[in-house]
A and B are shown apart, each in its own frame.
Chain A
């Protein structure tokens, strides 16, 4: 069974810093990987989706990379802002059409 781990569980940084969130998965036979953000009391918002054949995806200040062979993905956030404060979740879809989420990294950007 696929297991998805996110480290650290919580992260606090001053505004303007660049930061990296980590996601690891145990089974490299994935179909795709998505990064989401979740604000308190709200649903999830998809940030980036990387297909298994891709190495990275970029959207604005966000860059997600995927190393399928080592079972790792990173989400890079450039020039962090207080509005980036949220919980960031990664999820993998396996070749059996099942989705597995990590427990998330709670990010606080301090003004």
Chain B
């Protein structure tokens, strides 16, 4: 079974530039998550999709971050414009969860995209 794919693996940009990350979840996984992991910290959930609808985006800085999951499969996360403090690893994860009663919540993570903002 193929895992969660992410691209690019590394990205270096200057502040105020725009950047986009792509994620392809495991086939059949209804739920997709984007996390931000700053060096030395645990991951912070930015946004969670159930199929192509947003379940939670309470920690997404909406003035500069946006995400979409068209057709309930692939997802993109965009930062526009980037700030120095956005330097982090952006992790995508997916799980089988299809509703509150579904207990199959094990999350499978991709390798992440390492972003450096100069």
Contact = CB atoms under 8 A, between A and B. Distances in A.
Nearest to A97: B56
Given A97-B55, A98-B56, A46 B107 contact: yes
Contacts of B112: 42-43
Interface string A37-51: 000011111100101
Contacts of B108: 46
A43 B44 contact: no
Which range contains the number of A residues in contact with the other chain? 20 to 34
Task: Name the prevailing secondary structure of the B interface residues.
Answer: loop
A43 B103 CA distance: 22
A43 B109 contact: yes
B30 to A, nearest CB: 14
B86 to A, nearest CB: 18
A101 interface: yes
B40 A103 contact: yes
Contacts of A66: none
Q: Which 6 pairs across A and B sit closest by C-beta, in order of nearness? A: A101-B42, A43-B109, A44-B109, A99-B45, A46-B106, A101-B43
